[in-house]
Amino acid sequence: MSRRRPARTRPTRAQTRERILDGALEAFAERGFHGSTQEDICERVGLSRGAYNSSFRSKDELFFALYDRVIERLQSRLEEATACALSMPGSTADNFLKAFIASYPFDRDWYLLQAEFGFYALRHPAMASHYAERQGRILAIIEGALADILREDSRIVARGLPRIARLILAVHEGSMFQGLLEPHEVASGELLDFLVDLMLARAAPRVD
């Protein structure tokens, strides 16, 4: 059949773009934004700088492309986890919170990269609002989930959902850092679980 296309021997543009982003994720996580070079990024995924420069106009453009990809993935991941956790009936606030927290990415590269984004934003005011807006969505997801699951648990809700969401986020970040620095000292999720215990402490927090 003349219609038959020869098997594709060359990857599509989008595919190589993704590969470059993969390399950038690794490189940025390992060496930071300024510490990563084109060569460094390309080597990791077996491409040449030609592909890099053909796909991205500048380092900043790549950076923001990667940023969008990461945020989108996190967002859908959290939304999915929330929907899933909310769908199982009869789960307690405690269960839900821990399940939700467990859905957070405890991934080294991911954490380092998103921290990199954060510090980039802190250092470039123009970026700050953009980043804050994205972070706001994450906070909104957390708040929404909390509001749903804790509807009756007024002793929690009364403390202010937004602040609780921020606290969860803060502990997650700080805890990730400590966990990566001293893996044997801090288990992933440990501090967050502890925080949840504190928040949900029954009227009589048992002392043993």
Partner DNA sequence: GCATTTCGATACAAATATGTATTGAGTCGG
Partner DNA sequence: CCGACTCAATACATATTTGTATCGAAATGC
Contact positions vs a copy of itself (CB under 8 A): 30-35, 112, 115, 118-119, 121-123, 128, 131-132, 135, 154-155, 158-159, 163, 166-167, 169-175, 177-178, 180-182, 185-186, 190-191, 194-195, 197-199, 201, 203-208
Give the residue carrying structure tokens 């804790």.
150
Could you tell me which of 45, 29, 113 has the C-alpha nearest to residue 73? Answer: 113
Q: Is 9 in the site for DNA (CB under 7 A)?
A: yes
Q: What is the DSSP string of 126-170?
A: HHHHHHHHHHHHHHHHHHHHHHHHTTT-HHHHTT-HHHHHHHHHH
Three-state DSSP class for residue 37: coil
How near is the Cβ of 180 to DNA at its closest, in Å? 25
Amino acid at the residue 45:
V
The number of residues making up the chain comes to: 208
Q: Which of 30, 43, 54, 64 binds DNA (CB under 7 A)?
A: 54
Instruction: From 55-63, 110-118, 157-165, 177-185, give the range in contact with DNA by CB under 7 A.
Output: 55-63
Q: Which of 21, 25, 38, 97 binds DNA (CB under 7 A)?
A: 38
Q: Is 130 in the site for DNA (CB under 7 A)?
A: no
